[in-house]
Amino acid sequence: MATNTYVKRALEEAKKRNPGEPEFLQALEEVLESLSPVFDQHPEYEAAALLERMLEPERLVSFRVTWEDDAGKVHVNRGYRVQYNSAIGPYKGGLRFHPTVNTSVLKFLGFEQCFKNSLTGLPMGGGKGGADFDPKGKSDREVMRFCQSFMTELSRHIGQFTDVPAGDIGVGGREVGYMYGQYRRLTNQSVGVLTGKGLSFGGSLTRTEATGYGACYFAQEMLAEKGTDFNGKVVAISGSGNVAVFAGEKATQLGAKVVTLSDSNGYIYDANGVDLELVKDIKFNKRGRISEYVERYLEAEYHEGKRPWGVSCDIAMACATQNELDLEDAKMLTANGCRFVVEGANMPTTLEATRYFLENGVYFAPGKAANAGGVACSGLEMTQNSMRLNWSFEEVDVKLQGIMKKIYQQAKSAATQYSENADDLVSGANIAGFVKIADAMLAQGLY
């Protein structure tokens, strides 16, 4: 299919305007490619310069974060918030603390977040933020001082009706707690300005599990479409953080066997099925490394410096970070019999690998659809905070299942309507997410 000329032009223009931002341009390319048929049918979008407007973040702030380590040494990091698009609701999206954080990474994440949040059906715009701070090896008090300093500046830019951050890589319950405490002290307000909070101060049950569980609920729809389910399937998962562990937990509950998990140093393979309670203890309580798993399970294997995509599996779930699954990995997975690939992380699959899966009959779930359960549950946390009540685990879980099912249906139906390949959920998710934001922008006049 020929690419629409307006789409082509907008992408070329974006490449010129954003030099040195490879992750951002990669995300743009993936989305714009699939929007061609929509622009063919809707000339009014071009007349309103909708693409140029949607590619440019509404606001991007960057700031100095000064903090002191336990030895009294002063450090400076760079903090950011990208407020991408607020056409359908307050900016919403996580904060990432990782040394690789820069404007390219945060703009790619913020851009993706807009579409993801639109797909949830909840009134949330898109944003992302974070810092090039590395929490690894820092003491609790160092992390606390960093979070307090970070929030001292961030608090000027966010608010319960303006922008509601949450966690992402390197930001979990501990960090959200420290940031929330600082926001409360600075503003003298107890409001739902962050999600992923502790349960005793406004957090929602199910939020911790939501991204991983949601990815499995999405995968259940894909499996059902092909006349099968998780029962008896072998699942390879990358990562060993919040998303990976709870994807593993739900897949196991649904009868699958999870054989791998990983971190940035290597992966573990346990043919008997990974003991996720042990992984939780190593990673969440002790903040250790995945390699420690084989100290307890001697028959399990640890592969230093490798990714898990060479193993034989039915389902692969990429739950660590961007570009962790490339063309070579895609070929290996496919050759070894993998038929379903689910992105629990944001953009873990390179463009070439994504195309390979789509062209070779592997049913592929893009992150902005499959990992939307986390932000969806964040939206439900905002609702509970506004209503000043707490729903039970089951109530939130049932809502989460309903939302993931609807996201699948939207992506599938847009793929069927617009793409030559009805299984192209990449195009389906991009189009379904886009149209809602585009129409909201048109309705609200030029800005």
Name the residues annotated as catalytic: 128
152 or 321: CB nearest ligand NDP? 321
Least distance to ligand NDP, CB of residue 262, Å: 6
378 binds ligand 2IT (CB under 6 A): yes
87 or 320: CB nearest ligand NDP? 320
- Geometric angle at alpha carbon 109, from 57 and 206, rounded to 5°: 120
- Strands across the sheet containing 91-97: 59-68, 74-85, 125-131, 91-97, 163-166
Least distance to ligand 2IT, CB of residue 303, Å: 27
Q: Can you name the residues that pair with 85 across neighbouring β-strands? A: 126
375 binds ligand 2IT (CB under 6 A): yes
Using CA atoms, how far residue 32 sits from 10, 83, 115, 426, 431, in Å, is 9, 20, 12, 11, 9
What are the backbone angles phi and psi of residue 302, rounded to the nearest 5°?
Answer: -120, 125
Q: Which single residue is written with the structure tokens 């950011």?
A: 80
One of 110, 239, 379, 428 touching ligand NDP (CB under 6 A): 239
Partner touching 92 among ligand 2IT, ligand NDP, none, CB below 5 to 8 Å by kind: ligand 2IT
127 binds ligand NDP (CB under 6 A): no
Query: Contact, 415 vs 421, CB < 8 A?
Result: yes
Q: What's 2's DSSP letter?
A: P
One of 37, 89, 93, 239 touching ligand 2IT (CB under 6 A): 93
Specify the 3-state DSSP secondary structure of 430: helix
Part in contact with ligand NDP (CB under 6 A); list of ranges 15-23, 217-225, 319-327, 405-413: 319-327
Burial of 338 (0-12, 13-18, 19+ CB in 10 A): buried
Phi-psi region of 74 (alpha: psi -120 to 50; beta: other; left: phi over 0): beta
368 binds ligand 2IT (CB under 6 A): no
One of 94, 177, 202, 241 touching ligand 2IT (CB under 6 A): 94
92 binds ligand 2IT (CB under 6 A): yes
373 binds ligand 2IT (CB under 6 A): no
374 binds ligand 2IT (CB under 6 A): yes
Least distance to ligand 2IT, CB of residue 110, Å: 10
The CA distance from 160 to 189, in Å, is 10
Least distance to ligand NDP, CB of residue 356, Å: 21
Q: Under 8 Å CB-to-CB from 257, ≥6 apart: which residues?
A: 232, 233, 234, 235, 272, 273
345 binds ligand NDP (CB under 6 A): yes
Return residues touching ligand 2IT (CB under 6 A). 92-94, 113, 116, 166, 168, 195, 346, 374-375, 378
Return residues touching ligand NDP (CB under 6 A). 167-170, 172, 211, 239-244, 263-265, 319-321, 324, 344-346, 371, 374
